[in-house]
Structure 1
């Protein structure tokens, strides 16, 4: 599964200013709402679902990366966004470090296979140090979209 299959390019946040986990999640869900990828009336329940998932264990997976995610009945397809937090976000990460790269994923509950494939695709790319380094250096949404295309085509 390619990142471009589910990342909503118009929702990418190349310079997110959030410093807390909840604010970062709200900001990212809001960016998906702004693009119409999720409905305004569903944003609060999606945020709540992601925060509930975070209670089970942080999705801050280490190395400055977090992948908050949930399944939610309001979406009929996978939607995701990416945020770069230049100053870092306290995400209660497994390694105790701040998070600078965030991928937020929302998927329909009746498509668990797609949810897992999307998470696998995200985590595979995030294991690539070049990908992470280039992501952190990207200054615009367009630069991030170009990077995703390169990653999708195994050009990194």
Structure 2
């Protein structure tokens, strides 16, 4: 659940992320994708997590379905934040142990605990 007022109401974050995805897939391998967007008027970064039991092919050339999706939304006026968080998330995604734990998590709090244990800088 995204808290009310967290995203600017007049900005279509999904469209921003999809436009970025059209440039180059954000499928990083290991069944993980990290779509991302720089959002005008956003005050602080947001990480939205989703998972798919069946998996999603993120591009026409994909051979492995994506099961874990981290949507990273950062303030447009702070581009270095996006680079920092992308690196941290990619590092977290490399761990097969962490990926398996994320697939098994039963609550948002459990997800945060797993991500925080893997890399405290991601949750901040």
TM range (shorter): 0.7 to 0.9
Q: Which runs of 4+ in 1 moved over 4 A?
A: none
Question: TM-score w.r.t. structure 2 length?
Answer: 0.85
Q: Is the CA contact 2:50–2:70 (under 8 Å) kept in the aligned structure 1?
A: yes
Distance across 2 between alignment mates of 1:69 and 1:135: 19
Contact 2:30–2:93 (8 Å) recurs in 1: no
* Counterpart in the other structure of 1:41: 10
* C-alpha deviation, 1:72, in angstroms: 1.3
The aligned residue for residue 113 of structure 2 is 146
Equivalent position to 1:137, from 94, 104, 110: 104
Displacement of 1:74:
2.5
Q: What are structure 1's unaligned runs of at least 5 residues? A: 1-10, 12-31
Q: What residue is the counterpart of 1:124 in the other structure?
A: 91
Give the Å deviation of 1:152. 2.7
Q: How many residues get paired?
A: 121
Greater helix share, 1 or 2?
1
Provide structure 2 residue ranges, at least 5 long, that are not aligned to the other structure: none
> 1:115 and 1:47, CA in 2 relative to 1: closer, same or farther beyond 3 A?
same
- Distance in 1, matches of 2:17 and 2:56, equals 16
Task: Determine if contact 1:82/1:102 at 8 Å carries over to the other structure.
Answer: yes
| Higher-RCO chain (CA-CA 8 Å, sequence separation at least 6) | 1
Question: 1:85 touches 1:99 (CA, 8 Å); kept in 2?
Answer: yes
Q: CA-to-partner distance for each residue in 1:71-108, whole Å, 9 max, x for gaps?
A: 11031211111111122122117642211100001111
The answer to whether residue 51 in structure 2 is matched with residue 84 in structure 1 is: yes
Name the structure where strand makes up a greater proportion of residues: 2
Output the TM-score relative to the length of structure 1.
0.69
Q: CA RMSD in A?
A: 2.0
Q: Return the alpha-carbon distance in structure 2 between the equivalents of residues 151 and 129 of structure 1.
A: 11
